[in-house]
Amino acid sequence: METIIKVSPSELNEGLLDKIKKYIGNNGNVDVTISLKDVDIDYEVSLNRSIEQLEDDDVISFAMEDFMEYSPAPKK
């Protein structure tokens, strides 16, 4: 079975993820694909640079807890 869900960036939130999880259920055999349409050139260059850094092992990694501690709190 295949389902395509088209959403705008403003709809990407925890509520949408919760709905997708509920739809999938306990099925462990799931692929998720994100396809961007009309990507601007600056974003594409930045994305390609990030991919190259990842392939060259030029990446800094840390646990989610460390990331949350380092990241500024969301603005309300």
> Residue 10 carries which DSSP code?
G
Hey, where are the domains in the chain? 9-70
* 14 vs 59 pLDDT, higher one: 14
Residue 28's pLDDT is what? 74
In this prediction, residues 7-28 reach a mean pLDDT of 84
Q: What is the pTM of this model?
A: 0.38
Residue 50's pLDDT is what? 86
- Counting other chains too, the contacts that 2-8 makes at CB distance below 8 Å and 24 or more residues apart are none
Quick: pLDDT tens for 19-68.
888 888 887 778 878 887 777 888 888 888 888 888 888 777 788 888 88
Residue 44's pLDDT is what? 82
Helices (H), 1-76: 14-24, 41-55, 64-70
